[in-house]
Amino acid sequence: MSFLNPLGLWMLLGIIMVIIIYLKKQQEIELKVTSIKLWQEVLADAEKIKISKVEEYLLLLLQIAIVIFMVMALAKPMIYGGAPRENVTIILDNSFSMQAVSSGKSHLELAKDKGRSYISGLGEKVVVTLITANDEMNLLLEGGSKREAIQSLEAVKPSNKPLNLKAMEGINPEFLSCKIFITNKKITDMEGIITVGEDLYNLGITDVKYDYYEHVVICSIRNYSTTSIEAKVSLRDESGREYLQRKIIKGNQEEDLLIALEAEPEVIKVSLDIEDMLQQDNQYVLGIGKDYKKEVLLIGDNYYMEKALESIRGINWKKSEEIEAGYDLYIIDKKHVYEIEKPTWYLKGEEILEAEEREGTKELRIRGYESAEETLYIENPFVLEEKKGFHPVIESEGKALAIIGVEGNRRIVYSSIDLSKTNLTMTPLFPIYVEEMLYHLLDESFLKNMEPINNPPKKFIVGEAVSIVSTEKSWIPVVIQPENIFIYLAMLLLFIEWKVYKNARY
Amino acid sequence: MEEFLREIEGLKITPKRKILQGTKGNTASFGLGSSTDFFEHRPYAPQDDLRKLDWKLYCRTKELYVRQFTEESQIHIKIILDASLSMDYGEHNKFQLAKQLSMGLGYLTLKGLNLLTVVKLNDQSEIVEYKLNNIDQFYDFKVKMERLHCEGKTNYEGLIQQEVFYSGITFLFTDFLSQGYEKMLDFLASRNEEIIAFHILSEEERSPKLKENLKLIDTETGEEQRIAVTKDIHSIYKEKISAFLDETKEKCNRRGIKYIFSETTRSPAEILFEAIGGI
């Protein structure tokens, strides 16, 4: 057993105080009375109800026990199992939510305090490995001394990323065999957790989206506490127009607030007006205008595709005969295959991949839109051969006419549909189909990466706790932190002591 | 003190029954005399003072009648002041209260042209003042009273030797904590004294706030007793002191003595109003 706050043990001197007070109470105090006879009569009557000396000792013992329990609660003991080890790994959560402030200190600072106390309590020969945990695990110190570990610990800065428990898989299992993980999150299925900070009282913006067609901002707010809180949301655009919205959000729930705007703004800033523990997730900036939209380059002539791209409001697009750099997505209506590292949509897939022409008018089926009222057809389609890692998006008679997949690190769509030979282009489905393909190819966001703005993450914790199987099961660094148990015991004894005292003494 | 005297200015010591003996004074006695208070007519008898014949009545009735007037006597007021060590007790001192009340009564006595005698009671009884009868003597009386202090034990039986007690009013200031006070009460009652007893106790005696292991020392006898004060002991003490008060009151009432419980926290004027205000 070691103590996170060994200085608290000095409070054991309080036992001496209790004994001194007890002995002092045993001392007789001289008191002059006007009639000793009256007191002698009282004593004679009280003879039958003699106070047992046991009660006196019981009171003393109870008081000593109360002091011991309070000292233990203050010293914050950690009880280990097995024999002490020579290598210890400290994983320090420095994810976004560790910036939350309770009792005047950020949870990261509290975690550092705990880490520092823990390291100080280790034996001199113990070597320490320090890892910070956010969306990835960073090895800060491997097998360092206690002094180095404390220095490295002090230098840890909070990150704006969520905690990704799955990233633990990347840590050398040897490090994980005897670790402690200091975090402010309630993680139950992992050993060696030291929890810091109070439960979060926090409202946070988890996501903000903009509907280009309806001019509506969808603001997702999460209540991280257990009680209902009223969210007061204000939205301001670049021209200073301000919109206000209120909504009560139940504990541990996430709700969307819809705010209708008068016109399409260039950029919006959403703010939550609340004094909560984590201020960093009370603001969210979203670029909406031209400068923030992703760029799409259409290479070649395709009337139908141009019309469809014109109708999509969330992107900037340009037509060109040749490839140009600096675009987020390329739609190529040529036989040529370019060396590009960006997502690409080949409209003449039949000339790139192996394909077979089917004669006649064939029915067309778009996956996800099977229930569409209109019957879609195509004349003399080219069916594409199956390609590994790709799956069909449009089919005809069970054969793929458009496939989507990942090649290298980029998303690619191969399509063999001649848009002049199908009635798809004449239906409202076509621009929707094109928008969905673009949305998918552009990693489900038409907006450019807003990372430098440091918007809050969608979640504080992602992935599931990895079940780390210790190579040596005989030693678990932290089994329990029984400080709360000691507090409850002290309170119980205090109650019993009061009862005994009231019973025995005036 | 001046304020206290001003408060009790309106009080007058009046006996409940007529006085048997005494020189001329301001208080109605059993006899007939030469006061201005008309009592009755009686038929003339030879050798009656002719100045007392009621000639107006003779004109109406043609009979001779003599007018009779009540006699007014001085009351002899005695103050018995317990000056034993048990009276020197309490944050609000018992003896100080007793002295203050005595001085108040002394003032009223001398103002009412009555006689005042003060007897100090401890191991022996000692007459401190004897038959003062003039308000001019009040200052000397006050100084003497202020110089009194407590000493020794209470010997109630010592009073029986005193010859001053006959037909008058006796004010007794004591805590009744010593043995033998019943004999004293019997003696006073047998001397045709109208007795008003002030039972003086301090707040600390009535409900002591004690918490520790104590060595009790009797202020009068020096006797010692060790005691660990518990909740039970405290409640038994309270019962005892309450029974003692009831018993003392009952013993006084049985002898026709007016009993006034005077805790030291009470105002002296209020105590005197209770004692003589309604007589």
How many angstroms away from the CA of B88 is the closest CA of chain A?
A: 9
How many angstroms away from the CA of A492 is the closest CA of chain B?
A: 23
C-alpha gyration radius of chain A: 35
Cβ-based neighbours of A127, under 8 Å, separated by 6 or more: A86, A87, A88, A143, A144, A145
Q: What is the pLDDT of residue A378?
A: 93
Could you tell me if A260 and A398 lie in one domain? no
Least trusted range by pLDDT, from A136-140, A252-256, B77-81, B275-279: B275-279
| B214 shares contact with chain A (CB less than 8 Å) | yes
| A57 shares contact with chain B (CB less than 8 Å) | no
| B59 shares contact with chain A (CB less than 8 Å) | no
Residue A453 forms part of a structural domain: no
- The β-bridge partners of B78 are B117, B170
| B232 shares contact with chain A (CB less than 8 Å) | yes
Residue A102 forms part of a structural domain: yes
Could you tell me if A268 and A148 lie in one domain? no
Q: Alpha-carbon distance B3 to B214, whole Å?
A: 40
pLDDT digits (tens, 9 = 90+) for B176-224: 988 888 888 888 888 878 899 999 999 888 888 776 678 888 888 888 8
Confidence of residue B71 (pLDDT cuts 50, 70, 90): low
Q: How many CB atoms lie within 10 A of CB A358?
A: 17
Query: Which residues in chain B have their CB less than 8 angstroms from residue A32's CB?
Result: 89, 216-219
| B82 shares contact with chain A (CB less than 8 Å) | no
Query: Which residues in chain B have their CB less than 8 angstroms from residue A45's CB?
Result: 236, 240
Residue A288 forms part of a structural domain: no
Kindly tell me if the per-residue pLDDT of B68 is higher than 50.
yes
Give the nearest partner residue to B213 out of A29, A33, A43, using CB atoms.
A29
Least trusted range by pLDDT, from B52-56, B71-75, B131-135: B71-75
Residue A289 forms part of a structural domain: no
Kindly tell me if the per-residue pLDDT of B45 is higher than 80.
yes
Could you tell me if A159 and A267 lie in one domain? no
Q: What is the pLDDT of residue A446?
A: 81
Q: What is the pLDDT of residue A83?
A: 46
Instruction: Pinpoint the residues of chain B covered by CATH 3.40.50.410.
Output: 74-277
Q: What is the pLDDT of residue B279?
A: 44
ipTM over 0.85: no
Q: What is the pLDDT of residue B36?
A: 65
Q: Could you tell me the CATH number of the domain that includes residue A180? A: 3.40.50.410
Could you tell me if A72 and A110 lie in one domain? no
Q: What is the mean pLDDT of residues B241-265?
A: 92
Supply the pTM of this predicted model.
Answer: 0.51
Confidence of residue B114 (pLDDT cuts 50, 70, 90): confident
pLDDT < 70 positions in chain A? 1-2, 4, 47-56, 79-85, 177, 450-452, 465-481, 503-506
How many angstroms away from the CA of B86 is the closest CA of chain A?
A: 5
Could you tell me if A72 and A83 lie in one domain? no
Q: What is the pLDDT of residue A401?
A: 93
How many angstroms away from the CA of B158 is the closest CA of chain A?
A: 20
Could you tell me if A184 and A270 lie in one domain? no
The answer to whether B244 contacts A42, with C-beta atoms less than 8 Å apart, is: no
**CATH top-level class for B74-277?**
alpha beta
Query: Which residues in chain A have their CB less than 8 angstroms from residue B237's CB?
Result: 38-39, 42
Q: What is the pLDDT of residue A475?
A: 43
Tokens coding B184: 């004293």
Residue type, A503: N
Could you tell me if A142 and A191 lie in one domain? yes
Confidence of residue B124 (pLDDT cuts 50, 70, 90): confident
Could you tell me if A194 and A217 lie in one domain? no
How many angstroms away from the CA of A47 is the closest CA of chain B?
A: 9
Least trusted range by pLDDT, from A465-474, B1-10, B50-59, B214-223: A465-474
Q: How many structural domains is chain A composed of?
A: 4
Residue A281 forms part of a structural domain: no
The answer to whether A505 contacts B221, with C-beta atoms less than 8 Å apart, is: no
Q: What is the pLDDT of residue B210?
A: 74
Q: Could you tell me the CATH number of the domain that includes residue A323? A: 3.40.50.880
- Report the first-to-last Cα separation within chain A, whole angstroms: 42
Give the nearest partner residue to A29 out of B212, B224, B240, using CB atoms.
B212
Q: Domain range spanning residue A250? A: 203-276
| B220 shares contact with chain A (CB less than 8 Å) | yes
Could you tell me if A41 and A163 lie in one domain? no
| A32 shares contact with chain B (CB less than 8 Å) | yes
